[in-house]
Amino acid sequence: MSTLISILVFTIFWLLFILIGWMAAKRYKDKDLIRCCFLLTGVCCWLIWVVTLLMQLNPLTGPRASQKVIFGMMTYWKNSFIHNENDP
């Protein structure tokens, strides 16, 4: 539920940013260029934010090794804790 609320809040924030920029552009001579800048800025910032949020919802995990593989790595690697030598 909190994810949905945060998506709605930030979507409304960036929509308001675009709307205010759209209205503020009426005063200037190059209003189409200013509107385009506000629109692209709002969409790109929202997209970066939503992609970052969605990546954090389902993080990738690293490779998983079986116990045989882990024991084999500890046996063959010279700096593993199985050997009598101290690690550097």
| Secondary structure in 3-state letters for 27-80 | HCCCHHHHHHHHHHHHHHHHHHHHHHHHHHHCCCCCCCCCHHHHHHHHHHCCCC
Q: What is the pLDDT of residue 80?
A: 59
pTM, two decimals, is 0.61
Q: What is the pLDDT of residue 1?
A: 67
Asked if pLDDT for residue 84 goes beyond 70, the answer is no
Distance in angstroms between the alpha carbons of the first and the last residue of the chain: 49
Res. 86 pLDDT band, cuts 50 70 90: low
Q: What is the pLDDT of residues 37-82, one digit of tens each?
A: 999 999 999 999 999 988 888 777 667 788 888 777 777 776 655 5
